[in-house]
Amino acid sequence: MKKQAPFVVKSISEQHNALSLAKPDHPLVGIFKIDDINFEKLYKEAPMLTMDLYSITLKKNVNGKVRYGQGYYDYDGGVLSFMAPKQIISNGCEDYQPTGWCISFHPDFIRRHPLAKKIKEYNFFSYSVNEALHLSEKEEEAIVSIIKLMQQELQSSIDAFSENVLISYLELLLNYADRFYNRQFITRKGVSHDLLTRMEQLLHAYFDSGESLQHRYPSVELLASQLNLSAGYLSDMLRSLTGQNAQQHIHNHVIEKAKEMLSSTTLSVSEIAYQFGFEYPQSFNKLFKNKTNQTPLQYRQSFN
């Protein structure tokens, strides 16, 4: 059976039409209540869709508590999720009627502003749905207040200041989200530490099995997939715990394994570099020196 292609939404107008909403107040920005979506029609006509838009969704009345590891968390205020353009959304039937808000905007809306570049630094636009931001009541109030200010601005007459005001509100919302995500990593430290332990176990198993010598050291994407996380979420979580991202953790293991090989084998530095997947030995030398303040050769000579 041929797999159904996702329904493609290219503009704010097309999004509003697909969701059975009234025409948007702005050609590049849309704000609407989730309550107003015709979910029955959406599930039937677009079980999967992808949008050429950024989307920020605050969903309330989430069905049941959210479970992380062995514990449940009672952030019942709301769940905030982020979508970047071209991501695929699966629309499955829900056994409850969600409420809340959604902000969507086309990349062209921010293209002439510094936010166009900065927005790529917000990793949460690539987080998975299960890595959404769970808000406390006060945090939800802060987000909703910004959304309502943006909606009020959209419904006012457009003038020379409209675009800058809307983008300022949008930046404020994203900065709050960045703060709240860091809070989430802290309040769920037990779960985060458990994930850190599991990641370290995966790395130890990978290097001890010799797989790294047959292929290449594991990528962040590979580790994240084995932990059922997105690469961005894994790196941000690790950085909040240890000050180092996932790539740096992997490099730490590369260096430890390389030290073992330098001290116990006769393999040349180039051979060791190639076995770890480095195309150029110079890149391996640079990484090793950055981590140890010695070149690989200097480290080996210290054992003679």
Q: 36 and 132 in one domain?
A: yes
**What string of DSSP letters covers 143-178?**
HHHHHHHHHHHHTSPP-TTHHHHHHHHHHHHHHHHH
Collapsing DSSP to helix, strand or coil, 121 comes out as helix
Largest CA distance in the chain: 78
Residue whose entry in the numeric block shows the structure tokens 């570049």: 117
Q: 203 and 182 in one domain?
A: no
How far is the C-alpha of 232 from the C-alpha of 245, rounded, in Å? 9
Q: 98 and 21 in one domain?
A: yes
Type of residue numbered 167:
I
pLDDT at 94: 52
Say if residues 109 and 42 touch (Cβ distance below 8 Å). Answer: no
Say if residues 18 and 42 touch (Cβ distance below 8 Å). Answer: yes
Q: 203 and 75 in one domain?
A: no
How far is the C-alpha of 22 from the C-alpha of 49, rounded, in Å? 20
Q: Count of domains in the chain?
A: 2
pLDDT at 14: 94
Residues near 1 by Cβ (< 8 Å), separated by ≥ 6? none
Q: 154 and 14 in one domain?
A: yes
Last residue of a domain, one of 187, 216, 233: 187
How far is the C-alpha of 257 from the C-alpha of 204, rounded, in Å? 10
How far is the C-alpha of 190 from the C-alpha of 241, rounded, in Å? 11
CATH no. for residue 27? 2.60.120
Last residue of a domain, one of 187, 220, 250: 187
Task: List residues bridging with 104 in a β-sheet.
Answer: 30, 55
Question: In residues, how long is the chain?
Answer: 304
pLDDT at 95: 53
How far is the C-alpha of 293 from the C-alpha of 174, rounded, in Å? 39
Q: 264 and 138 in one domain?
A: no
Q: 198 and 66 in one domain?
A: no
How far is the C-alpha of 258 from the C-alpha of 146, rounded, in Å? 51
Alpha helix (H) residue ranges in the chain = 12-18, 39-45, 107-110, 115-118, 137-154, 162-187, 189-209, 211-214, 220-226, 231-242, 246-264, 269-275, 281-292, 296-301
User: Domain span at residue 204?
Assistant: 190-301
Q: 126 and 43 in one domain?
A: yes
CATH no. for residue 282? 1.10.10.60
Q: Mean pLDDT by 10-residue block, N- to C-terminus, for the chain (304 residues)?
A: 72 93 94 88 76 92 47 59 86 65 96 94 86 89 96 90 95 96 82 84 81 67 90 91 90 91 91 87 93 93 79
How far is the C-alpha of 158 from the C-alpha of 179, rounded, in Å? 31
How far is the C-alpha of 3 from the C-alpha of 10, rounded, in Å? 21
Q: 234 and 258 in one domain?
A: yes
Q: 44 and 154 in one domain?
A: yes
pLDDT at 187: 78
How far is the C-alpha of 8 from the C-alpha of 86, rounded, in Å? 9
Say if residues 126 and 74 touch (Cβ distance below 8 Å). Answer: no
Q: 134 and 153 in one domain?
A: yes
Q: 127 and 20 in one domain?
A: yes
Q: Cβ–Cβ contacts within 10 Å for residue 239, how many?
A: 17
pLDDT at 91: 61
How far is the C-alpha of 238 from the C-alpha of 249, rounded, in Å? 9
Tell whether 154 is covered by a domain: yes
